[in-house]
Amino acid sequence: MKSAPSQTVVAGVLRRCEPAPDGFGGDVEIEVEVNESPDPAGDFIRPQPGTVLTAFFGELGPPVQRLTGSPVRATLTWLGGPGGGRAVVQRLVKR
């Protein structure tokens, strides 16, 4: 079974970075200002302006942590299965 591709693009402010206890990646919180997803049908996360989006980011290190409080643009995907899922950051850049 093949699943549909999922892509979400948001612009907002990086509010928080929390490293994972095991040392790999961690969670980021982005206060969404605008949803810039190119294809609404392929946006499984559908974040609304004014909400806070929590997502896993595997490359959560000092360069990303220094962006806390800065305006960012993030490209995310939804990874999940029958038991649930989570938003995952594919790319995060300062605006």
pLDDT digits (tens, 9 = 90+) for 21-60: 888 999 999 999 999 998 888 899 999 999 999 999 999 9
At residue 54, the pLDDT reads: 97
Token representation of residue 56: 């896993």
At residue 23, the pLDDT reads: 86
Q: Judge whether residue 61 has pLDDT over 90.
A: no
At residue 83, the pLDDT reads: 85
At residue 17, the pLDDT reads: 95
Q: Judge whether residue 74 has pLDDT over 90.
A: yes
First to last CA, the chain: 37
3-state class (DSSP) for residue 6: coil
CA-CA distance, 74 to 84, in Å (whole number)?
Answer: 22
List the chain domain ranges.
8-79
Residue 68 phi, psi dihedral angles, 5° rounding: -55, 130
DSSP for residue 82: T
